[in-house]
Structure 1
Amino acid sequence: MRQPDIEIYLKDAERDAVAQWLGEALGPCSEWQQKGQTFKCKAGDVPVTWLPKAVGKWHSLYLESDATPWADDLACARAAHAALGVQIRCAPGTWVEDESEEEADRWIKVDADGETEIVWRTE
């Protein structure tokens, strides 16, 4: 089932490299517009939000559309890792407001060693 939006976390990724990758995957990126701590642009028709250091050294990349080549966060994480060569983390499925804290701390790590389910306490 296609997720309504995509959110992944990238370690040590450069915003310009991410914009180049998104430009190739989704269409040309507009200039980044800074709004407080966040940066916004459009890649093709997809609204993009970049939050540097959202969780420690991890940057949040949020694609506010279901019109991407990726059906879910994990598919996007795989593509981001392949293109950028950095570790990516994403939720194992669609986030649900009332899920237990244990479930909320379950993440999938995508890196050179493959995919691993981990516990990541983000608070």
Structure 2
Amino acid sequence: MRQPDIEIYLKDADQQSVAAWLEQAIGPCSAWRQKGQTFKCEAAGIPVTWVPKAVGKWHSLMLESDATPWDDDIACARDAFAALGVQVRCAPGSWQEEESLEEGERWIRIDAEGEQEIVWRTD
């Protein structure tokens, strides 16, 4: 089932490389607009939010649409790793507010060693 939005976390990725990847994967990107610690742009009309160092060294990338080329976070994370060569983490499925804390700490890590489910405490 297609997720309503996409959110992945990238380690050691720079904003320009991410924008170039989005442009190749989705379409033309507007210039980034900074608001506080957050940067926003649009990739082929899809609202994109970039939060540098959202969790420690991890940058958050949020695509606020179900009209992306990816059905879910994992598909996007796989593509981001293939294009950028940096470790990527994402939730294993859509996260719900009412989920237990333990469920919220389950993540998928994608890197040169492959794909693995991990526990990631982000607080």
TM-score above 0.5: yes
Unaligned stretches of 5+ residues in structure 2: none
Secondary structure of the corresponding residue to residue 25 of structure 2: helix
- Matching residue's letter, 1:110: I
Partner of 1:13: 13
- Matching residue's letter, 2:98: D
- Matching residue's letter, 1:95: W
Partner of 1:35: 35
How far did residue 79 of structure 1 move?
0.1
Pairs within 5 Å for 1:35-54: 35-54=35-54
How far did residue 119 of structure 1 move?
0.2
Unaligned stretches of 5+ residues in structure 1: none
Secondary structure of the corresponding residue to residue 60 of structure 2: strand
Partner of 1:89: 89
How far did residue 65 of structure 1 move?
0.3
TM-score, with structure 2 as normaliser: 0.99
Secondary structure of the corresponding residue to residue 8 of structure 1: strand
Moved segments of 4+, more than 6 Å: none
Of all paired residues, the percent bearing the same amino acid is: 74
TM-score, with structure 1 as normaliser: 0.99
- Give CA-to-partner distance per residue, 1:2-39, whole Å, 9 cap, x none: 00000000000000000000001111110000001000
CA RMSD of aligned residues (A): 0.3
Q: Distance in 2 between matches of 1:38 and 1:7?
A: 14
Q: Distance in 1 between matches of 2:118 and 2:2?
A: 23
How far did residue 45 of structure 1 move?
1.3
- Give CA-to-partner distance per residue, 1:59-105, whole Å, 9 cap, x none: 00000000011000000000000000000000000010000010000
How far did residue 115 of structure 1 move?
0.4
- Matching residue's letter, 1:12: D
Q: Distance in 1 between matches of 2:30 and 2:7?
A: 19
